[in-house]
């Protein structure tokens, strides 16, 4: 089978890109306007073509015919934590995405966003979006996923918006996650114990459910913590102090409620331990907090890959029959 190709905008720290790589996609372009995110991408994959620039100024003509256009468009316009201005929000980049899609003419489109995208208040926006995609020759649908259904040890609901050229659409179906994720304790006990903390096993037994949704990744946020009061209370029930992040795991004789490190949070997001994040603690945590869990992206990527291969196989068979 041929190598599948993709371009991605608002790539962030690479959660979606990493998942799509697992699904078999080669990334011809990864663009983001955050210098720390760009540094993270380059640090982990020096061979990727990483461009640090604004999406509004980018063009995609040179990638015409690419297999997949991916994007992690800004979430604040649709987030319940914000003003939910939708298309009126200056951070809304859907029109820019549509312009780039018209230029690149990809076979598939994958855009991830927050659960708020599905709110009744955005019914009109979604109808308009569907019309615009159909005008470009695409069918489009969206679905809410919980990362825990794909083995990620936190709930983290995210919306996947998938569109495809009509010839490919009939072969696509959304993935059905049925994984049983580890608990927070099972996921992090080795990291909690790595500096000899004697309370790690007892802590892990208390942290016996999946994590609350990781939040706190906004650039406007004051620092790295695990979210507002409700989120911190949920973390406290798991034996975690969510008021801030730690630079190191608990030490051998520690008696206070442990805090998570950025590496621990990254593991809860589904990142492999080998994935490094550029910048100091606050910048690293913002990248992690905004990430699309790689296992969810991989599951979606695999379904898209199957649809592309199936469609091309059918097209090839028809060509052979016509030639005979």
pLDDT at 218: 58
Catalytic site residue 38? Answer: no
Predicted local distance difference test score (pLDDT) of residue 215: 81
Q: What is the spatial distance between Cα 247 and Cα 258, in angstroms, rounded to a whole number?
A: 11
Give the chain's domains with CATH numbers: 4-179+290-323 (3.40.50.150), 184-273 (no CATH)
Residue where the block lists tokens 């999406």: 55
pLDDT at site 217: 57
* This prediction's pTM: 0.92
Residue-wise DSSP of 152-208: -SB--EEEEEEEEEHHHHTT---------PPPHHHHHHHHHHTTB-TTHHHHHHH--
Average pLDDT per consecutive 10 residues, the chain (324 residues; last block may be shorter): 95 97 98 96 98 95 98 66 47 88 98 92 93 97 97 94 97 95 97 97 97 75 77 94 94 95 96 96 92 97 98 83 70
Whole-number pLDDT of residue 79: 52
Q: Which of 10, 37, 38, 75 is catalytic?
A: 75
pLDDT of residue 78: 53
The number of beta carbons lying within 10 Å of the beta carbon of residue 84 is: 16
pLDDT for position 228? 85
């Amino acid at each position: 089978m041929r190598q599948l190709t993709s371009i991605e905008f608002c790539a962030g720290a690479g959660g979606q890109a990493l998942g799509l790589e697992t699904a078999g996609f080669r990334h011809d372009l990864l663009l983001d306007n955050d210098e720390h995110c760009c540094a993270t991408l380059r640090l982990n994959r020096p061979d990727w073509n990483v461009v640090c620039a604004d999406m509004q100024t980018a063009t995609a003509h040179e990638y015409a015919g690419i297999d997949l256009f991916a994007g992690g468009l800004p979430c604040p316009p649709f987030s319940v934590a914000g003003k939910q201005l939708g298309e009126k929000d200056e951070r809304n980049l859907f029109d820019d995405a549509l312009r780039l899609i018209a230029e690149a003419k990809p076979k598939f489109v994958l855009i991830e966003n927050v659960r708020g995208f599905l709110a009744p208040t955005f019914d009109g926006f979604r109808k308009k979006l569907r019309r615009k995609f159909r005008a470009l020759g695409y069918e489009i649908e969206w679905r809410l996923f919980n990362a825990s259904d794909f083995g990620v040890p936190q709930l983290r609901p995210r919306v996947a918006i998938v569109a495809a050229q009509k010839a490919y659409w009939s072969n696509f179906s959304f993935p059905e996650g049925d994984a049983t994720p580890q608990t927070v304790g099972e996921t992090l006990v080795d990291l909690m114990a790595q500096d000899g903390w004697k309370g790690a096993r007892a802590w892990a037994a208390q942290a016996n459910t999946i994590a609350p949704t990781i939040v706190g990744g906004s650039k406007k946020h004051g620092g790295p913590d695990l979210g507002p009061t409700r989120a911190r209370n949920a973390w406290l029930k798991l034996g975690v102090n969510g008021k801030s992040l730690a630079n190191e795991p608990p030490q051998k004789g520690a008696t206070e409620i442990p805090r998570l490190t950025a590496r621990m949070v990254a593991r809860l997001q589904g990142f492999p331990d080998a994935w490094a994040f550029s910048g100091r603690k606050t910048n690293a945590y913002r990248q992690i907090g905004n990430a699309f869990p790689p296992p969810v992206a991989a599951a979606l990527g695999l379904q898209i890959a199957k649809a592309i291969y199936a469609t091309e196989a059918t097209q090839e068979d028809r060509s052979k029959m016509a030639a005979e």
